[in-house]
Amino acid sequence: MSEEIIIKAEERTEKGSGAAGRLRRAGYVPAAMNRIGGDTMLLKLNQHDFKALLKRHGDEQLLLKLDINGQSIHALMREIQLDVLTGDPIHADFGEVNMNVKIRVQVPIRLVGDPIGVKQDGGILQQLVRHIEVECLPADVVEEFTVDVSGLKLGDSLFAREIPLDAKYTLVIGKERMAVATVQSVKEEEEPVATDEAAAEPEVIAKGKKEEEAPAADANSKKK
């Protein structure tokens, strides 16, 4: 962690959707924190302050300190529920952590660089996996891993085990064979490399020059 993030919270006793609605109208975000001992603490957060935090850091898993009536508790932000119309946070879930015990977290992957297979051979870069799961100490949780894919040639795939991770991160067992990104030819675009996240559709990140010929062919066919 590059900075210590602290947000104030208040304990609450009200439960149910009606109570949650009243809290939101009063300018609060209902929240809950799972304690290490197994119990759950109900909280409320200042909506303005919490929205400002999400704007700076996003809604991914984030380590922070909850200041609850003067007591500081390290917690991981696990899940944020957003209003589908306004995008405002309507509920937050946290998990208390022991700073000396490793935890498992899903860390986003950001691909950088232009693959050789895209620049020189007109291939397509597809990101097949958006996150990888690692074990680390809470203080080492990061907002993302940046991965350089400029060396990928046509037909190459980047696997999770090939991501250069610092020694403080351990890739969760069973994910080593997971393909994170691949460079395919335009003709092979409909047959992405199989991954553990097969249900998710791969995202096309970049396309080479060869694909520019495809739209022209489609346009001619429509004129007939």
Return the CATH number at 130. Answer: 2.170.120.20
CA distances from 97 to 77, 103, 129, 165, 173 (A): 10, 8, 27, 23, 22
Residue 40 domain boundaries: 6-96
Last residue of a domain, one of 50, 68, 96: 96
Residue 221 has pLDDT above 70, yes or no: no
> Count of domains in the chain?
2
Q: Please identify, among 96, 125, 141, the residue that sits at the C-terminal boundary of a domain.
A: 96
Same domain, 207 and 159: yes
- From residue 182, give the alpha-carbon distance in Å to each of 13, 30, 46, 81, 211: 50, 41, 43, 32, 16
Instruction: State the average pLDDT over residues 165-184.
Output: 90
- Asked if residue 221 belongs to a domain, the reply is no
Q: Is residue 22 domain-shared with residue 58, that is, in the same domain?
A: yes
Polymer length of the chain: 224
The pLDDT of residue 64 is 92
Q: pLDDT for 93-113, tens place per residue?
A: 999 999 999 999 999 999 999
Q: Using the 3D structure, point to which of 40, 62, 96 is the last residue of a domain.
A: 96
